[in-house]
Structure 1
Amino acid sequence: MAETAAKHARVAGTGMVPFAKPGRSQNYIEMGAAAVRGALADAGLDYTEIQQVYAGYVYGDSTCGQQAVYPVGMTGLPVFNVNNNCATGSTALYLARQTVESGAADCVLALGFEQMQPGAIASVFTDRPSPFDPFDRASTEWIGQAELPPALRYFGGAGLHHMRRHGSTLEDLARIRAKASRHARHNEYALLRDELSVDDVLSSPPLWPGVMTRLMACPPTCGAAAAVVVSPGFARRRGIRDTVMIRAQAMTTDTPATFSEQDMMKLVGWDMTRRAARACYEAAAAGPEDIGVAELHDCFAHNELISYEALGLCPEGGASGFIADGDNTYGGRVVTNPSGGLLSKGHPLGATGLAQCHELVRQLRGAAGPRQVERPGFALQHNIGLGGACVVTLYESP
């Protein structure tokens, strides 16, 4: 443990702003700066002590990152702008962690923000090939439904594939959404905080009859979150004691199996998730049985369900039983998305990964209030972006 503590980066502070509907939030500069100030205050640091910044966002011009941190300070430090679709925030965290552990810097800021438009996600640049063209071709060939918005078709198709292969049901998905609503009741950062029953979810308008209702999909939101990542030596010198260790972290991208096996679950990143999780478990000399709390990428209830299995939290085909036994909530094996997840907070693409980090750091500090998980052990973060990228992170109290 002493050797582990000596080499792994720490999260010294996190900050975020409440997520809001498009058109009702501050602009990305104001949200980003507020999240940065929150993370610095949490760490007890000044912006002048930050040596590098990784700023993540999907929808914005090329140097938005600079504009989001300039209100906090203009110290001339390097600012790197990061875009990795929905895994952008955790990619910024990955780069910050890697920079610290390489010895290139001792105190690095990871920032994620998004100022989104209402409605389904769509391409902005229509005069060039889209990175989603191969995903569109594959999904329409395998399952049809070309009239549906792409993300709904991809993740709904993955859920349908699981239903056909493993017998999961629409009620399983409704249970996931109802669980998310119960968790979100006590999260002041979540957009949707009303508690829902399984019947509420099942009776909401169908987006794909028999496969998905409206309440099984996360809403687009605007928001920002940030984390200060430091070396153990920096934390010691600055007297920062309330840190959380990044015990292991892995990023994966697609392999040919994403398209060659005609498997909708693999099209949306099941393989990427499994490989990233296994790499983390191996690096941490741990296993899924050591996870007490997790923030999973539940852009749709369907992705949470298949991710249980990809992350090894239950056996392949075991997700329905995992849900029915309450092993995904308080009193069960792994409390998943105690924040309420994307289904309740919403999904400001660039901010999502760092919002997950914010929740898990508080859980490991024992500072999550009514959401606190008893004896969380390792905390797992799973953030995925189609196109593709998956980042899995394991946190531990040092």
Structure 2
Amino acid sequence: MSNKVVVAGVGMIQFTKPGQSDEYHVMGANAAKAALADAGIDYALVQQAYVGYVYGDSTCGQAAVYGVGLTGIPVINVNNNCSTGSTALFLARQAVESGAIDCAIALGFEQMQPGALKGAWTDRTGPMDRFAKTMVQVQGFDEQAPRAAQFFGGAGRAYMQEYGISREIFAKIRAKASQHAARNPLAVFRNVVSVEEVMASPMIFDPLTRLQCCPPTCGAAAAIVCSEAFAKKHGLNTDVVIAGQSMTTDRNSTFDEGDMRKVVGYDMTRNAAVSVFEQAGVGPQDIQVVELHDCFTANELITYEGLMLTPEGTAEKFILDGDNTYGGRVVTNPSGGLLSKGHPLGATGLAQCFELTRQLRGTAAATQVEGARFALQHNLGLGGACVVTLYQRQ
């Protein structure tokens, strides 16, 4: 059995800096309530909950959904690094599409602390140890720089070395993100910054300056997914469907080819994108709007090519021609992306879903991309997992 899966409701709360948010369970409950209200259904109709977070004890998902209701449904906690929110969505979609259930909620939240990401356990092998070893072999290790910035900065360096682009190209991505976020009232940073300001901010790991690194963020977002038959039975909005979705993990190329772009998931992105376009029967040329994983400007640049939005080696032209913004070919991260909207790890994938669902409904207000019919979502987690989702307006 294969049901058409509708995104019937989405919800998102204001993203904030660490220390300025409610506690995780309050944020999660509020996002879930917002998604239910948007869908126009009672929580009693939801049959399963998939709840994502990275930094928290076991069963934080229950603590959040119990703030919505105590209905006895299964609550599955999900942790897949920065792709956690989209992994929760992937599981919810899969359960509905298979016919196992008719309606599910995917919820993600994160209550983060200031500073660079770090692991919680130091007395055992870390899940990123193999990636770190590969990075050291390729480019060494800088004890003064955050590890994540070295991964993605290294990917940026590899691209610069192959194609001869300048550092300013990466800065243009951050300036674009700030212009988009200025339109989004839920973004954590809404101030517009220039290319010059981006370049003048402190260097974190060449070519990445501080303004080219996403900030630690607190927030929550949620989506109600259901079968089309369920939606019609209950009079729900059926405008947006998931036309294709794929989750991929690493292959040998991540570790064996000495390319930092592949270490940070380029091949995962490409493989997931190919699968999704095949499922949906459309191509990258059909996409009008994209929310992609711009944890660092370097990752946005290489992901243009990973998603086949532009041929390999042409990302610079894509940016300089303005094809990544309003008036161009495909508006990328109209929400402001992770760089400006913020990156609460467990919520990010569902915040992307929130933005794209509203885009296809035509209700995105100031961030609206006119005439959007197909929307693409890309959410990446090192360690590794990549989820690519294609939404269609019907």
CA distance in 1, matches of 2:237, 2:256: 49
Equivalent-residue separation in structure 2 for 1:376 and 1:171 (angstroms): 30
Q: Contact between 1:242 and 1:365, CA under 8 Å: does it hold in 2?
A: no
Ranges of 4+ aligned residues in structure 1 off by more than 4 Å: none
Do 1:366 and 1:372's aligned partners in 2 also have CA atoms closer than 8 Å? yes
Does residue 284 of structure 1 match 2:274? no
Matched residue type, 1:195: V
Of the candidates 329, 341, 344, which is equivalent to residue 345 of structure 1? 341
Cross-structure match for 1:188: 185
Bigger mean CA offset, 144-153 vs 329-338:
144-153
2:258 corresponds, among 248, 257, 262, to 262
Of 156, 160, 180, the match for 1:163:
160
**2:4 and 2:228 in contact (8 A); partners too:** yes
- SS class of match (1:7): coil
Aligned partner of 2:38 in structure 1 is 42
For each residue in 1:171-207, what CA deviation from the matched residue of structure 2 results, as whole angstroms up to 9, or x when unmatched? 1111100000000011111000011111111111111
- 1:298 match: 294
- 1:273 and 2:269 aligned: yes
Superposed, 1:29-108 pairs within 5 Å as 29-108=25-104
Tell me what 1:154 maps to. 151
Q: Does 1:120 align with 2:126?
A: no
- TM-score normalised by the chain length of structure 2: 0.98
Instruction: State the 1:137 CA deviation.
Output: 1.0
Amino acid at match of 1:179: K
Residues 47-87 of structure 1 show CA distances to partners (whole Å, capped at 9, x for unaligned) of 11110000001111110000000011000000000011000
Structure 2 letter corresponding to 1:361: T
Verify the 8 A CA contact 2:6 2:238 in the aligned structure 1: no
Equivalent pairs counted in the alignment come to 392
State the one-letter code of the partner of 1:187: N
Q: What residue number does 1:3 align with? A: none
Report the more deviating stretch, 18-27 or 300-309: 18-27
Is residue 206 of structure 1 aligned with residue 185 of structure 2? no
Any gaps of 5 or more consecutive residues in structure 2?
none
Query: Is 2:230 aligned against 1:234?
Result: yes
In 1, are the aligned partners of 2:3 and 2:96 still within 8 Å (CA)? no
CA distance in 2, matches of 1:46, 1:108: 12
- Partner Cα separation in structure 2 for residue 73 and residue 299 of structure 1: 34
Can you list the C-alpha shifts for 1:234-276, whole angstroms capped at 9, x where unaligned?
Answer: 0000011354100000000000110000000000000000000
- Does structure 1 residue 375 correspond to structure 2 residue 340? no
SS in 1 for 2:288: strand
Question: Could you tell me which residue of structure 1 aligns to residue 305 of structure 2?
Answer: 309
**TM-superposed deviation, 1:377:** 2.4
Q: Which residue does 1:10 correspond to in 2?
A: 6
> SS at the partner of 2:289?
strand
Amino acid at match of 1:193: R
1: CA distance, partners of 2:7 / 2:152: 32
Distance in 1 of aligned mates of 2:232 and 2:372: 25
Superposed, which structure 2 residues align to 1:136-151 within 5 Å?
Answer: 136-147=132-143, 148-151=145-148
Secondary structure of the structure 2 residue equivalent to 1:393:
strand
Distance in 2 (CA, whole Å) between partners of 1:145 and 1:214 is 19
User: What percentage of aligned pairs have identical amino acids?
Assistant: 62
- Partners in 2 of 1:166 and 1:346 — Cα distance? 30
Q: What is the identity, as a one-letter code, of the residue corresponding to 1:158?
A: A
Displacement, 1:374? 1.3
Say which of 361, 365, 372 aligns to 2:357: 361
RMSD: 0.9
Contact kept in structure 2, 1:187 and 1:339, CA below 8 Å = yes
- Give, as a single letter, the amino acid of the residue that structure 2 aligns with 1:75: T
Match of 1:221 among 214, 217, 222: 217
Q: Which ranges of structure 1 fall in alignment gaps of 5 or more residues?
A: 1-5
* Stretch of structure 1 that moved more, 284-293 or 199-208: 199-208
Matched AA of 1:122: K
Letter in 2 for 1:150: R
1:140, 1:146 within 8 Å by CA — same for their partners in 2? Answer: no
Q: What is the TM-score normalised by the length of structure 1?
A: 0.97
Instruction: Work out whether 1:251 is the aligned partner of 2:247.
Output: yes
AA of the residue aligned to 1:86: C
8 Å contact from structure 1 (residues 13, 243) kept in 2: no
Aligned residues of 1:168 and 1:319 also touching (Cα < 8 A): no
Kept in 1: contact 2:231–2:238 (CA 8 A)? no
